[in-house]
């Protein structure tokens, strides 16, 4: 295995068939993230989080105003990963550690007391009031719409929804599960394509592992 990988002509990236993303695809991804909707009260929430780091007693250096822009973009990206076209407070919370942990500086006495960046940032998040509202925690921002369904479909909706859910809530939940399944199927198809494209490389790696594995008694 070492001999095969030692040669100067061996390029593991070539073996793995890894292709760089095109500039056009990267720009399209950026534009898609920027299009994720965010309400005005979440702007205030992001600014409050960043501002609080500059006032936090355990920190010698808090996050700069530029960090708020990064926090916004990463929160939008997390919303996109969840197949949503709008940001919720949980997206912002999820973005705090990866965006801010390297942008703050703890005081020496805080480090002596066992604090680290993640612990301080979690305390900051806990101290900042979260925007509350049904739109965040009951299916996101709502838009009124009108659809026509056949009577037999409505009958099935009523039978499956039961008395605890309205028709619209039940239909929305079914659609959400459908779209999640579509995303999972697309991811699985992509992973299978990558595995098939790199089958020879993966097989050679497995052969190397099996060849040098210690025999069992």
Q: What pLDDT score was predicted for residue 21?
A: 77
Cα–Cα distance for residue pair 65/87, rounded to 1 Å: 20
Q: What pLDDT score was predicted for residue 160?
A: 80
Are 77 and 32 members of one domain? Answer: yes
Q: Judging by beta carbons within 10 Å of its beta carbon (0-12, 13-18, 19+), is residue 177 exposed, middle or buried?
A: exposed
**Model pTM?**
0.58
Residue 205 included in any domain = no
DSSP one-letter string for 30-76: HHHHHTSB--HHHHHHHHHHHHHHHH-TTEEE---HHHHHHHHHHHH
Integer angstrom CA distances of residue 139 from 38, 50, 76, 173: 15, 27, 17, 9
Q: Are 96 and 125 in contact (CB under 8 A)?
A: yes
Are 27 and 105 members of one domain? Answer: yes
Provide mean pLDDT across the span 78-106: 92
Are 129 and 158 members of one domain? Answer: no
Residue 103 included in any domain = yes
Residue 7 included in any domain = no
Provide mean pLDDT across the span 121-149: 73
Q: What pLDDT score was predicted for residue 199?
A: 72
pLDDT classification of 193: cutoffs 50, 70, 90? confident
Are 90 and 193 members of one domain? Answer: no
Cα–Cα distance for residue pair 19/201, rounded to 1 Å: 15
Q: What pLDDT score was predicted for residue 213?
A: 58
Asked if the model's pLDDT at residue 129 lies above 70, the reply is yes
Dihedral sign from CA coordinates of 103, 108, 112, 113: negative
Are 181 and 193 members of one domain? Answer: yes
Q: What percent of the chain has pLDDT over 90?
A: 34
Asked if the model's pLDDT at residue 108 lies above 60, the reply is yes
Are 101 and 57 members of one domain? Answer: yes
Q: What pLDDT score was predicted for residue 52?
A: 95
Residue 13 included in any domain = no
Provide mean pLDDT across the span 69-96: 92
Lowest-confidence segment of 28-37, 50-59, 65-74 by average pLDDT: 28-37
Dihedral sign from CA coordinates of 184, 187, 193, 196: negative
pLDDT in tens, 173-187: 788 788 778 877 877
Provide mean pLDDT across the span 141-164: 72
Q: What pLDDT score was predicted for residue 209?
A: 66
Residue 91: domain span: 18-143
Question: Which one has a higher pLDDT value, 93 or 217?
Answer: 93
Number of domains in the chain: 2
CATH number (domain holding residue 131):
1.10.8.80
């Amino acid at each position: 295995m070492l001999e095969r990988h030692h040669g100067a002509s061996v390029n593991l990236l070539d073996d793995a068939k890894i292709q760089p993303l095109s500039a056009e695809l990267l720009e399209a991804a950026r534009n898609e993230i920027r299009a994720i909707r965010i309400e005005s009260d979440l702007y205030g929430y992001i600014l409050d989080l960043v501002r609080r780091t500059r006032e936090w007693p355990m920190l010698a250096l808090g996050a700069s105003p530029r960090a708020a822009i990064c926090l916004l973009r990463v929160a939008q990206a997390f919303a996109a990963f969840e197949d949503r076209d709008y940001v919720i407070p949980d997206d912002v919370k999820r973005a705090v550690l990866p965006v801010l942990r390297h942008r703050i500086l703890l005081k020496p006495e805080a480090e002596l007391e066992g604090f680290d960046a993640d612990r301080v940032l979690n305390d900051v998040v806990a101290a900042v009031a979260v925007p509350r509202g049904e739109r965040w925690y009951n299916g996101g921002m709502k838009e009124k719409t009108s659809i026509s369904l056949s009577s037999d479909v409505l009958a099935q909706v009523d039978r499956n929804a039961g008395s605890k859910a309205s028709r619209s809530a039940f239909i929305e939940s079914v659609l959400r599960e459908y779209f999640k399944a579509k995303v999972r199927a697309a991811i699985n198809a992509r992973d299978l394509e990558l595995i098939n494209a790199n089958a020879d490389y993966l097989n050679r790696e497995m052969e190397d592992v099996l060849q040098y594995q210690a025999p069992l008694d």
